[in-house]
């Protein structure tokens, strides 16, 4: 097992088999609201031994350095998702690593804050010459649209609001130190693209090489367990939501909105 897991670091991450610019079209995927998964319970990942700290509920969270309005301290996902994360953790034990989760179920207030307020404000500050259409398009590239009302939310919840998505990395089990991945969590530049370090860069520094190998390990362990990898966010993996269905060519999504305020 030890040898097999480590070998994944030498297995390149494949080019996405779809147009990455279309990944935001997940809203059109049908949700199976009659299936057994639709009302599956949320569980905190830490009850299954998976480590994490809610990034948005902390103040040690560059580049924000604030507890985001509406954030929560728990890290909840659907029961099946939690079990899959625990299965990946078992494989990582053989090489002294474990999962570290930044974010799981995300309240709609947090999604709306970033999509409608923080990201557009940030982009305007660093690109003052860009018009509002460009700001909107760039915001869409890195943040899923929020929802302003019940109908929008029940038709297509943002991935993290389904309980099917997690933002994560790996860390050393003994020390808790996070592995080098080449960018900070939530980076909104090309460095966050999953295959960024697979390119033939002129100079492969120690950092770039380490990031490439660690991203490979993360990608292959997660996708082997059935998760879909977001092509523009190395840290984002999901199972059962509409984006997962789109990326993995499923006819329907398993999960819709997981919150209690608009449940039907």
- pLDDT of 264 above 60: no
Residue 263's pLDDT band, with cuts at 50, 70 and 90, is very low
- Quick one: what percent of the chain has pLDDT higher than 90? 77
Write the burial class of residue 53 (CB in 10 Å: 0-12 exposed, 13-18 middle, 19+ buried): middle
For 37, half-sphere exposure in the C-beta direction (CA atoms, 13 angstrom radius) is 19
Query: Rounded mean pLDDT of 11-39?
Result: 89
Residue 64 is encoded by which pair of tokens? 């924000």
Residue 62 lies in a domain: yes
* Four-CA torsion 159, 49, 37, 169, nearest 10 degrees: 30
Mean of per-residue pLDDT scores for the chain: 91
- pLDDT of 198 above 80: yes
**The pLDDT value given to residue 261:** 59
Q: List 97's β-bridge partners, or say none.
A: 172
Query: Rounded mean pLDDT of 126-142?
Result: 90
Q: Which domain holds residue 51?
A: 2-104+152-253
As a whole number of Å, the CA-based R_g of the chain is 18
Query: Rounded mean pLDDT of 234-250?
Result: 96
Report the domain count for the chain.
1
Residue 183 lies in a domain: yes
- pLDDT of 10 above 90: yes
Residue 127 lies in a domain: no
Residue 142 lies in a domain: no
Residue 187's pLDDT band, with cuts at 50, 70 and 90, is very high
**The pLDDT value given to residue 237:** 98
Q: How many CB atoms lie within 10 A of CB 262?
A: 17
Residue 175 lies in a domain: yes
The rounded distance, in Å, linking the Cα atoms of 142 and 261 is: 26
Q: How many CB atoms lie within 10 A of CB 251?
A: 8
**The pLDDT value given to residue 3:** 60
Residue 261 lies in a domain: no
Residue 244 is encoded by which pair of tokens? 């997962």
The CATH number that applies at residue 93 is 3.30.1380.10
Query: Rounded mean pLDDT of 113-142?
Result: 91
Which residue stretches of 24-75 are H helix? none
Rounded to whole angstroms, what are the CA distances from 127 to 45, 134, 147? 39, 10, 26
Tell me the residue length of the chain.
264
**The pLDDT value given to residue 202:** 67
- Give first-to-last CA distance, the chain, whole Å: 44
Q: What is the pLDDT of residues 80-101, one digit of tens each?
A: 999 999 999 999 999 999 999 9
Residue 179 lies in a domain: yes
Question: What is the greatest pairwise CA distance in the chain?
Answer: 54
**The pLDDT value given to residue 64:** 95
Residue 123 lies in a domain: no
Cis peptide before 63 (omega within 30 of 0): yes
- pLDDT of 212 above 90: yes
């Amino acid at each position: 097992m030890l040898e097999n897991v480590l070998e994944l670091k030498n297995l390149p991450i494949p080019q996405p088999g779809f147009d990455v610019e279309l990944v935001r079209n997940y809203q059109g995927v049908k949700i199976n609201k009659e299936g057994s998964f639709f009302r599956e319970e949320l569980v905190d990942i830490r009850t299954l031994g998976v480590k994490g700290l809610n990034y948005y509920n902390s103040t040690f969270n560059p580049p924000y350095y604030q507890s985001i309005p509406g954030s929560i301290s728990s890290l909840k996902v659907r029961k099946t998702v939690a079990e899959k994360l625990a299965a990946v953790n078992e494989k990582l034990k053989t090489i002294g690593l474990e999962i570290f989760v930044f974010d799981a179920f995300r309240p709609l207030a947090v999604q709306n804050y970033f999509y409608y307020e923080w990201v557009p404000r940030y982009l305007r500050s660093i690109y003052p010459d860009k018009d509002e259409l460009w700001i909107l398009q760039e915001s869409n590239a890195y943040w899923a649209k929020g929802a302003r009302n019940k109908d929008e939310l029940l038709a297509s919840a943002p991935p993290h609001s389904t309980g099917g998505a997690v933002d994560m990395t790996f860390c050393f089990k003994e020390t808790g130190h996070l592995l080098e991945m080449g960018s900070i969590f939530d980076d909104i530049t090309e460095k966050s693209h999953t295959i960024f370090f697979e390119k033939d860069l002129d100079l492969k520094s120690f950092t770039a090489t380490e990031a490439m190998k660690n991203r490979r390990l993360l990608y292959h362990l997660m996708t082997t367990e059935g998760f879909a990898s977001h092509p523009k966010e190395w840290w984002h993996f999901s199972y059962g939501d509409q984006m997962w269905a789109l990326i993995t060519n499923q006819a329907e999504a398993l999960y819709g909105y997981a919150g209690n305020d608009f449940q039907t």
